[in-house]
Amino acid sequence: MREITYRDALREALIEEMQRDKTVFLLGEDIGLYWEGAFKVTKELAKRFGVERVRDTPISESAIVGAAVGAAITGMRPVAEIMFGDLVTLAMDQIVNQAAKIHYMFGGQANVPLVIRTPFGGGVNIAAHHSQSLEAWFMHTPGLYVATPSTPYDAKGLLKTAIRNDNPVVFCEHKLLYPIKGLIPEEEFTIPFGSADIKREGADVTIVATMFMVHEALKAAETLEKDNLSVEVVDPRTLIPLDKEAIVSSVKKTGHLIVVTEDCKTAGVGAEIAAIVAEEAIDYLDAPIRRVAEPDTPIPFSPTLEKFVIPNEESIIKAVKEIV
**Which regions of the chain are under pLDDT 70?**
none
Domain harbouring 213, CATH code: 3.40.50.920
Domain boundary among 118, 152, 184: 184
Domain harbouring 120, CATH code: 3.40.50.970
Q: Are residues 148 and 230 in the same domain?
A: no
* Residue 130: active-site member: yes
Q: Are residues 234 and 287 in the same domain?
A: yes
Compute the C-alpha angle 82/33/16, nearest 5°: 70
Q: Are residues 80 and 204 in the same domain?
A: no
Strand partners, 260: 209, 292
Q: In a 3-state reduction of DSSP, which class is residue 181?
A: strand
Residue 191 lies in a domain: no
Q: Are residues 208 and 295 in the same domain?
A: yes
For every residue of 240-302, DSSP letters joined together read ES--HHHHHHHHHHHS-EEEEEEEESTTSHHHHHHHHHHHHHGGG-SS--EEEEE-SSPPPSS
Q: Are residues 78 and 208 in the same domain?
A: no
Q: Are residues 31 and 153 in the same domain?
A: yes
pLDDT at res. 33? 93
Residue 77 lies in a domain: yes
Q: How many domains is the chain built from?
A: 2
Q: What sign results for the dihedral spanned by CA atoms 126, 129, 130, 134?
A: positive
pLDDT digits (tens, 9 = 90+) for 232-242: 999 999 999 99
**In which domain, by residue range, is 280 found?**
197-323
What mean pLDDT is reported for the chain?
97
Residue 283 lies in a domain: yes
Of these residues, 103, 130, 215, 256, which one is catalytic?
130
Q: Are residues 173 and 226 in the same domain?
A: no
Q: Are residues 162 and 212 in the same domain?
A: no
Q: Under a CB-based contact definition with an 8 Å cutoff, are residues 191 and 154 in contact?
A: yes
Q: Are residues 152 and 217 in the same domain?
A: no
Residue 315 lies in a domain: yes
Residue 192 lies in a domain: no
Residue 189 lies in a domain: no
Residue 107 lies in a domain: yes
Q: Are residues 264 and 142 in the same domain?
A: no
Q: Are residues 76 and 151 in the same domain?
A: yes
Q: Are residues 48 and 95 in the same domain?
A: yes
